[in-house]
Amino acid sequence: MPKTIVRDGVRELLEEGGAQLVDVLPSEEYAESHLPGAINIPLKELNRETTARLRRDEPVIAYCHDYL
Amino acid sequence: MSPRAAWRLEGLGFSKVYDYAPSKVDWFAAGLPMEGELASVPTVGDVARRGVPTCAPEEKVGEVRDRIQGTGWDRCVVVNEERVVLGLLREKELAADPETTAEEAMRFGPTTVRPDVPAGKMAERMQERGTASVVVTTPDGELVGLMYREDAERPYNTGSPEHA
């Protein structure tokens, strides 16, 4: 079951190394702004092929833009 | 959207999946780094002065006034141990009875703004409202600094030593 994570948790995982940030917003929104090092895989394109570049044994952190 | 993405990723065989539900809005509002086209647009966090004097709620106004005299600052932000903004002592409040505590004299709950707001837009808003300065905090209320409209109208003027 995916775990919800807050900002400090994201920072900790990134500092530990290996964590992968996935921006699931449309590519236009990703181009405007994204977290450092994040890769863009829009939600509708999330499949086995597009996620092939991600390491399956390392943490994956998904984020978007619709919380506040 | 991100919860659906997180579940989808898990369904695709990833075992350590996290959902950063507060999203990039939360990240940028905390003044953390950004990549992309907007990264070059000056923000409130870029132009905010960081060395703003602070005091604890129990400090005497007279002591605070003496401390900031001659520093070039005309106000002091009242914060708790976590640097969360509680109030503001402007010139008017700093002129109160010296024995009054900061908590008693302060302007409670001043307007605050997040560091990721574009500085130019903020300056326009402040001009419309006749505001000269605004307190900058993270989404958690932690003090970042003080933004003066004049600084936002000439972004990246780093002539003042108080700038980040």
Are B121 and B146 in the same domain?
yes
Whether B34 sits inside 8 A of A34 (CB atoms) is yes
Are B52 and B124 in the same domain?
yes
Are B111 and B140 in the same domain?
yes
Q: Is the pLDDT of residue B158 over 50?
A: no
Q: Is B65 domain-assigned?
A: yes
- Measure the CA–CA gap between B112 and B73, rounded to whole angstroms: 18
**Nearest CA-CA partner of A8 in B159, B142, B157:** B142
pTM across the whole model:
0.77
Q: Is B38 domain-assigned?
A: no
Q: What is the per-residue pLDDT for A31?
A: 94
Whether B34 sits inside 8 A of A36 (CB atoms) is yes
A34, B35 Cβ separation under 8 angstroms: yes
Are B76 and B16 in the same domain?
no
Q: What is the per-residue pLDDT for B156?
A: 54
Are B99 and B137 in the same domain?
yes
User: Is A39 exposed, middle or buried, given 0-12, 13-18 or 19+ CB atoms closer than 10 A?
Assistant: middle
Whether A4 sits inside 8 A of B21 (CB atoms) is yes
Q: Residue A44: closest CA among chain B residues belongs to which residue?
A: B5
Are B113 and B145 in the same domain?
yes
Total structural domains within chain B: 2
Q: Is B145 domain-assigned?
A: yes
Whether B37 sits inside 8 A of A1 (CB atoms) is no
Chain B residues in contact with A48 (beta carbon < 8 A): 12
Q: Is the pLDDT of residue B115 over 60?
A: yes
What mean pLDDT do residues A4-28 have?
95
Q: Is B156 on the interface with A (CB under 8 A)?
A: no
Are B62 and B136 in the same domain?
yes
Whether A67 sits inside 8 A of B25 (CB atoms) is yes
Return the residue in B14, B140, B142 with the most chain A beta carbons within 10 A, the one to mutate for interface testing. B14
Read off the pLDDT of residues A47-56 as tens digits, 9 standing for 90 and up: 999 999 999 9
Alpha-helical (H) ranges within A1-68 are 7-16, 27-32
CATH number for position B103: 3.10.580.10
Q: Is B35 domain-assigned?
A: no
Interface subset of B 12-31, CB within 8 angstroms of A: 12-30
Whether A24 sits inside 8 A of B5 (CB atoms) is yes
Are B55 and B123 in the same domain?
yes
Chain B residues in contact with A64 (beta carbon < 8 A): 1-2, 5, 23-24
Q: Is B39 domain-assigned?
A: no
DSSP-assigned beta bridge partners for residue B79: B85
Model confidence at B160, in pLDDT bands (50, 70, 90)?
very low
Interface subset of A 17-46, CB within 8 angstroms of B: 22-25, 30-38, 43, 46
- Measure the CA–CA gap between B132 and B123, rounded to whole angstroms: 9
Model confidence at B153, in pLDDT bands (50, 70, 90)?
confident
Q: Number of A:B CB contacts under 8 A?
A: 138
Q: Is B61 domain-assigned?
A: yes
Q: Is B111 domain-assigned?
A: yes
Are B129 and B154 in the same domain?
yes
Q: Is B68 domain-assigned?
A: yes
Are B26 and B54 in the same domain?
no
Are B50 and B24 in the same domain?
no
Are B52 and B77 in the same domain?
yes
Structural domain harbouring B144: 44-163
